[in-house]
A and B are shown apart, each in its own frame.
Chain A
C-alpha cells in the first residue's frame, strides 16, 4: 500500500493542471464556474483546444488519438479538467460513439468519422431511449428495414440530449423483429440532415431546452453506415454503456461546487452580523458532504487502480449511485444557501442585483434530478450490485 502518487503521476497531474488552467479560454471556464449553460460554440472551442494538445480522446486506441494512459492517469486527467472548470469533451463523441467505431467499425468508417469526432467537427447525438424503452432499453421499437443498399428507418427516439445541435446521431434500431429482444438490434449511424429526420424540443422543469424527441419517417440510410455486424448492436451498446459508467461519478466538479458553496455561504449575512458560514447546521452539512465526497473520490481511486483489462470494476455501480446522489445533494445545498435569491432564476445579469450563482441555483438543482435516472437509473445500479456483487 502506498498513499502518494508516484513522482511521474504527480508530475502528470501538475502538467494537466497547468494546461487546463492556462490553455482553455477563460470565459469558457468562467461560464462553467458560474454554472451557466454553455453555448454550442463554447463546447466546440474547448474540445478543439484539448484535441490540438492530444487531450480530447486519450482513452481511444493510440492510432486514433489515444495516449495509452493507465486508468489512473485517465482518472487524473478527468478530475483535473473538472477542477479547472474545463468542459469535459462531449460525451457522445468521446466516450460513446468514438470508442464503438474504433472497436467495431470498418476501416472506412474509422477514417471517415474518428478524426472529425475527436475534433467535434461532427456533433453526435445519442439515439437509444424510446418512449417505452428507458432503463429497459432492449424494448426499443424503432425499425430499420433493408432495401437494396439502404436501410429504411421508422420510429421515435426520446431524451436526445442536445439533439438540437446534432449533426449525426448513433442509433439502436431493430433489424430483426422476429428475434428475441436483445438479439435483433443493430447500431446505425444517421446523418441528421437526411429527409425524414425531425427533431422536436422537450421543455424541462428547469425551463431550459436540453433534450429532444427525434422522429424518423422513412429515413433512407446507406447500408455502409451500419457499425459492425447486423443484429449485434446490443453487444456494442453494452460496450458503450460500460464506458459510460467509468466517468460517471463527477467527483471533481462536485468538489469544486462544494468549495464554491463555502464562498457563497460567506457572502450571505444572517442575524447578529454573522454569515451563513458561521451557522452550525450549515457547516455541519458542508462537512458531512465533504467527507462523503472524500469517500467517493477514494473509492474511485480504488476502482481505477484495480480495473483490469479495461473492464469496469464491479464497484463502479457504487460510483454512479453515490456520485449522482452527492452531485444532487450539493446542488440542493446551493439552493438553500441562495434562499430567497433563488427565486430570481428568470433575471438576466443586467436586470438583477442578485448574485449569478444564486439565480442559477434552482435550475441547476432541478436539472440534476436527471442524474439518478440516466446512465442506468440508480435503481438499476442497486440491481447490479445486488445481483453481480452480492449474488442476490
Chain B
C-alpha cells in the first residue's frame, strides 16, 4: 500500500502543471479564453497532444501512452487547479474511454490515434432530457441493421457537442438494449445548438433525425461498457475537483492572511480560521477517497470500480460544496465577482458535481447496498 507518486508520475505532474499553468495561472487569460468559442485554447490543446497527454490512457497499439488511471488523475488534478477549460475529461477520458471499451480494433486504431494527436475532438452524446445519470438510452432510438443504421431523438446536454468532430451516441435498440454509434459532425439530419454553461464550459443540444450512424463495435447492448466508462470519468472528475479545491483553499488562506478589516488581517478572527480548518479537513478526507478510488480503477472489477466511484463521488460532492461555499463566504463580496478567481472555482465544482452524478445519487446507491456487508474494508 502506497499513496505516493513515483518519479515518472511526479515528472508528469510537473510537466502538465507547467504547461497549463503557463496559460491559466493568469486568471484573466482563462476569462478571455472561455468568453470566445470554442471555449478553450486550440493551441494549448495541440501542445497537450504533443506532450502525449491526450493519448495518455490509450494503449500504445492505438498511438497512446498506455498509462493508467493514476496518470489520468494527475492530469485531471492539474487541470482542476487552474480551471483549464480544455475538454480532457469529457472528450479524452469519457468519449475516448467509451471508444476504448466498445470499439472494434479498427475503430480503436483510427479514432484513438486521432483523439490522442488532437486531430479529432470527440463528444459522448448520452444524457437525454427527462433522465439523469443512467447508463442506458431512453428516447433516442436506433433503427437499421448491418451497416445501415439511423438515429432519431434528442441528446442534451452534450459536453462540447457543438465543437466535436465526431459524436459517440448511445441509442435504444428495438430489443430495449442500449447500443453505441459513431456520428460524423457533418452527418445529414444532425442539428447541434451549442451554448455556454455557467462555469465557462460548453454544451449542446444534439438533435438526430434519421441521422446515419455507424455502430461502435457491434450494434448490441453496451450499457455495461457505458457504466464502466462513466465510473472511470466520475473518478477522473473527482480528481479534477480535488485540484480545484486545493486552489480554492489556498486562495482562501492567502486572502485571510492579507486582507485587512477593522485594522487587522482577517486571520486574526478565529471564527474565520476555524472554518478554513474545516475546509482542510473536508479536502483531506475527499483526497483520501478519491486517491483510493483511482487505485481501485487501476485494478478492480467492474463492481468494485462502481462502488469506489460512488464512494469517491459522495465524499467529493460533499467536500466540493463545503469548500466551494466556504471559499466564497470567507472571501466576502469579492468572490461574487467574475473577475476574481475563487467564485469561478465554486462554479466549476458545481458543474463537476452534476456532470456524472451528485452526492445524493451516490448515497442512494450506497444506501441500497448497506445490508450486503458488515464493514467496508478498503484493503480487502
Contacts and interface: CB of A to CB of B under 8 A. Distances in A.
Contact of A302 (B3, B280, B311, B314): B3
Interface stretch (A86-94, A214-222, A278-286, A341-349): A278-286
A294 B311 contact: yes
Given A1-B291, A302-B288, A321 B378 contact: no
B187 to A, nearest CB: 42
B3 A385 contact: no
A257 to B, nearest CB: 10
Interface string A287-305: 1101111111111011001
B281 A284 contact: no
B281 A2 contact: no
Interface stretch (B123-131, B168-176, B294-302): B294-302
Contact of B286 (A286, A295, A306): A295
Interface stretch (A3-11, A26-34, A196-204, A235-243): A3-11
A291 B366 contact: yes
Given A72-B1, A284-B367, A298-B378, A3 B278 contact: no
Interface residues of A, number: 51
Contacts of B256: 392
A152 interface: no
B285 A390 contact: no
A356 B361 CA distance: 36
A15 to B, nearest CB: 15
Nearest to B252: A390
Nearest to B269: A392
Given A2-B1, A382-B278, A390 B363 contact: no
A389 B298 CA distance: 31
A4 B288 contact: no
Contacts of A162: none
A294 B1 contact: no
B352 interface: no
B333 interface: no
A255 B375 contact: yes
A76 B326 CA distance: 35
B295 A392 contact: no
From A6, A386, A387, residue with most partner B Cβ within 10 Å: A386
B95 interface: no
Interface in A338-368: none
A277 interface: yes
A37 B226 CA distance: 52
A136 B158 CA distance: 57
Given A255-B375, A256-B375, A390-B276, A286 B367 contact: yes
Contacts of A72: 1
Contacts of B281: 318, 321-322, 385
A259 B376 CA distance: 9
Given A3-B299, A299-B285, A301-B3, A262 B374 contact: yes
Contacts of B273: 382-383, 386-387, 390, 392
B236 interface: no
B326 to A, nearest CB: 13
A288 B376 CA distance: 12
B284 A318 contact: yes
A94 to B, nearest CB: 25
A301 B1 contact: yes
A211 interface: no
Contacts of B274: 379, 382-383, 386
B277 A290 contact: no
B289 interface: yes
Contact of B292 (A298, A321, A386): A298
Contacts of B285: 292, 295-296, 299, 318, 322
B186 interface: no
A381 B277 CA distance: 9
B246 to A, nearest CB: 12
A385 B289 contact: no
Contacts of A272: none
A391 interface: yes
A280 B367 contact: yes
A315 interface: yes
B152 interface: no
Nearest to B256: A392
B261 to A, nearest CB: 15
Contacts of A315: 284
B253 A297 contact: no
Interface string B98-136: 000000000000000000000000000000000000000
Contact of A1 (B3, B368, B375): B3
Nearest to A255: B375
A386 B70 contact: no
A357 to B, nearest CB: 15
Interface string B304-315: 000000010011
Contacts of A322: 281, 285
Given A298-B292, A382-B274, A390 B378 contact: no
A2 B288 contact: no
B43 interface: no
A358 B6 CA distance: 49
Given A291-B315, A295-B288, A305-B1, A390 B370 contact: no
A59 to B, nearest CB: 19
Interface string A6-23: 100100010000000000
Nearest to A301: B1
**For B273, B278, B285, which residue has the most chain A Cβ atoms within 10 angstroms?**
B285
A322 B278 CA distance: 10
A294 B378 contact: yes
B234 interface: no
B363 A287 contact: yes
Interface string A368-392: 0000000000010111011101111
Contacts of B340: none
B193 interface: no
A389 B281 CA distance: 11
19 contacts: A1-B3, A1-B295, A2-B295, A4-B1, A5-B1, A255-B375, A259-B374, A283-B368, A283-B370, A286-B367, A294-B292, A294-B378, A295-B288, A298-B288, A299-B285, A306-B4, A318-B280, A385-B280, A385-B281
Interface of A: 1-6, 9, 13, 72, 83, 255-256, 258-259, 262, 277, 280, 283-284, 286-288, 290-299, 301-302, 305-306, 315, 318, 321-322, 379, 381-383, 385-387, 389-392
Given A72-B1, A290-B366, 16 more contacts: A1-B3, A1-B294, A3-B298, A9-B1, A283-B370, A283-B371, A286-B370, A287-B363, A294-B376, A294-B378, A322-B281, A379-B274, A382-B274, A386-B277, A390-B273, A391-B257
